[in-house]
Amino acid sequence: MSSDASGDHGPPYPAPPLDESGAEDLLRCICFKTGPPTAVGVELEWLIHHRDRPRVPVPHDRLDDAVAALRALRLSAALTFEPGGQLELSSRPADSLMACIDATAADLAAVRDALDRLGLAPVGFGVDPWHAPRRRLREPRYDAMESALDRSGPSGRAMMCTSASVQVCLDAGEEEPGPLGYGRRWQLAHLLGAVLVAVFANSPLRHGRRTSWRSTRQSLWNDLDPWRTLAPAGHLPPRDAWAAYVLDTPVMCIREEAGPWAVPNGLTFRDWIRTGVPRPPVRDDLDYHISTLFPPVRPRGHLELRMIDAQYGVDGWLVPLAVITAVFDDPEAAETVYRTVKPLAETAGPGPAPRNPLWVGAARDGLTDPDLRAAATTCFEAALEALPRMGATAAVQQTVAEFNDRFVARGRCPADDLPGLLAPDPAGGSGHDEGPRS
């Protein structure tokens, strides 16, 4: 989940009200900004733990000190914080994979050093393996979000306060059909999504105990309001599918000038336009509404791939970034992977991602599923062949190859190692291990 502070300051200034056709036109214009793929970005969410006592929750005053220290840094990326105190680094769009990796690695080194001086550390798990949800941010946006998500049960608070992810951001693609066309890339993102869930599943623990999921984070998303978290209809052209999805999804909240924000129940954005109650929506309301939608792939001009658990290790985050960029932006790899994952749509079962059986199985079973393992093997082979063509350094190629050897080639995922890495050390250690470098 990504924080969006731009709309947290009350209702928008007076502006012309939206009509239905105007909203549809806006959505079709802003969701896919087409052109040759050139830019890449990454959004990294991290839990903040005690460096030496990770099972002890970090007090709010220590988190306040951490926030102050991190905000004083001069970072290339945008720094924000999630409701439970998770930090997020959102890179600037980079003109190459290596430019994105180098800038993000430098920012992370500065963040780790600042937190280390406070006895803290950023750690990459899809869900906090020990701590219950504790909301740190008390803002109208999150008050309203909590009220809305509570209607689906306790998973909303867990998602808000204890989850973390790697989100890869790529250009939408070219207007024309082909391996780099936006329609193909949109379809590839959804077909590949279950494979990415399985490969990078990294959240098998919650409240100190194993769950029945390798990606407990994905299971939390599955428990939430389905309108807000499902993929748009797959039978429509991408622009039409996204416009209909946005307008027909219930509004999470309506910003108010004073007092709590309204949290309507079942009011779609389309209905809000038609009724104009409690006030007519404007363009800024539409932008804000989009920021409260959490499908696995979100088009915001570019494509946000949002289905990947946060990864442990110093450079675990760069594996999904490198692999996804390679199989989307290298034409040869894109064509190979598309042909590999397209048959998965036939086995996905009824219902859109991420609630169809393929995605549920990916979150629960990881790469023990033979179809997902075969697809993941091809994806990593294609990525490893493409990375030199994309200018990836030998170190990056080695990191991806080591991950492939350790996990994909063996039908395993990071979640399969995590319980052992976090087990208490009989000699008195903390049981907090950053894990392998890959």
DSSP string, 106-170: HHHHHHHHHHHTTTEEEE--SB-SSPPP------HHHHHHHHHHHTT-THHHHHHHHB-EEEEEE
What stretch of H or E contains 305?
A: strand 302-309
d(CA 172, CA 184): 10
pLDDT (tens digit, 9 = 90+) per residue, 239-276?
Answer: 999 999 999 999 999 998 877 899 999 999 999 999 99
pLDDT per position as a tens digit, 37-75: 999 999 999 999 999 999 999 999 999 999 999 999 999
Q: The tokens 């012309």 sit on which residue?
A: 16
Whole-number pLDDT of residue 3? 43
Taking residue 177's Cβ as centre, other Cβ atoms within 10 Å add up to 10
Q: What tokens does 258 get?
A: 């004073």
User: Is residue 280 very low, low, confident or very high in pLDDT (cuts 50, 70, 90)?
Assistant: very high
| Partners of residue 203 on adjacent β-strands | 215
Radius of gyration of the chain (CA): 21
Pairing of strands 87-90, 40-50: antiparallel
Phi, psi (5° rounding) for residue 432? -105, 105
Considering the segment(s) 38-137+162-232+293-421 as one domain, its CATH architecture is 2-Layer Sandwich (3.30)
Find where tokens 């590999």 sit. 340
Tokens, residue 305: 């791939």
Instruction: Sketch the domain layout of the chain as residue ranges.
Output: 38-137+162-232+293-421
Measuring CA to CA, how many Å separate 167 from each of 12, 43, 259, 318?
28, 5, 33, 11
User: pLDDT per residue over 218-239, tens digit each?
Assistant: 999 999 988 889 999 888 899 9
**The predicted structure's pLDDT at residue 339:** 96
pLDDT in tens, 160-216: 999 999 999 999 999 998 899 999 999 999 999 999 999 999 999 999 999 999 999
Burial degree of 70 (CB within 10 A; 0-12, 13-18, 19+): buried
DSSP 39-101: -EEEEEEEEEEESS-TTSPPPHHHHHHHHHHHHTS--SSEEEE-TTS-EEEEPPPBSSHHHHH
Evaluate whether 311 touches 47 at the Cβ level (below 8 Å): no
- What's the token pair of residue 260? 């709590």
* Mean pLDDT, the chain, whole residue set: 92
Task: Reduce the secondary structure of 388-419 to three states and give it as a string.
Answer: HHCCCCHHHHHHHHHHHHHCHHHCCCHHHHHH
The mean per-residue pLDDT over the stretch 8-27 comes to: 83
Alpha helices in 176-330 (DSSP H): 182-199, 216-223, 226-229, 238-248, 269-275, 283-291, 318-329
Tokens of 397: 């190629």
> Residue 10 — very low, low, confident or very high, per pLDDT cuts 50/70/90?
low
pLDDT score for 234: 80
CA distances from 196 to 284, 285, 364, 408, 409 (A): 33, 32, 13, 11, 15
Kind and range of the H or E element at 304?
strand 302-309
Asked if 178 contacts 323 with a C-beta cutoff of 8 angstroms, the reply is: no
**Residue 120: strand pairing partners:** 50
Nearest Cα neighbor of 199 from 311, 298, 110, 124 is 311
Encoding tokens for residue 50?
């005690």
Under the banding of pLDDT at 50, 70 and 90, the label for residue 4 is very low
pLDDT digits (tens, 9 = 90+) for 339-365: 999 998 877 776 788 888 999 999 999
| Helix H or strand E encompassing 378 | helix 370-389
pLDDT digits (tens, 9 = 90+) for 363-418: 999 999 999 999 999 999 999 999 999 999 999 999 999 999 999 999 999 999 99
pLDDT, position 117: 98
Which residue from 183, 159, 302, 293 is spatially nearest to 238, judged by alpha carbons?
183
Measured between alpha carbons, how far is 160 from 147 in angstroms, rounded to an integer? 12
Top-ranked range on mean pLDDT: pick from 121-125, 352-356, 426-430: 121-125
Q: How confident is the model at residue 436 (pLDDT cuts 50, 70, 90)?
A: very low
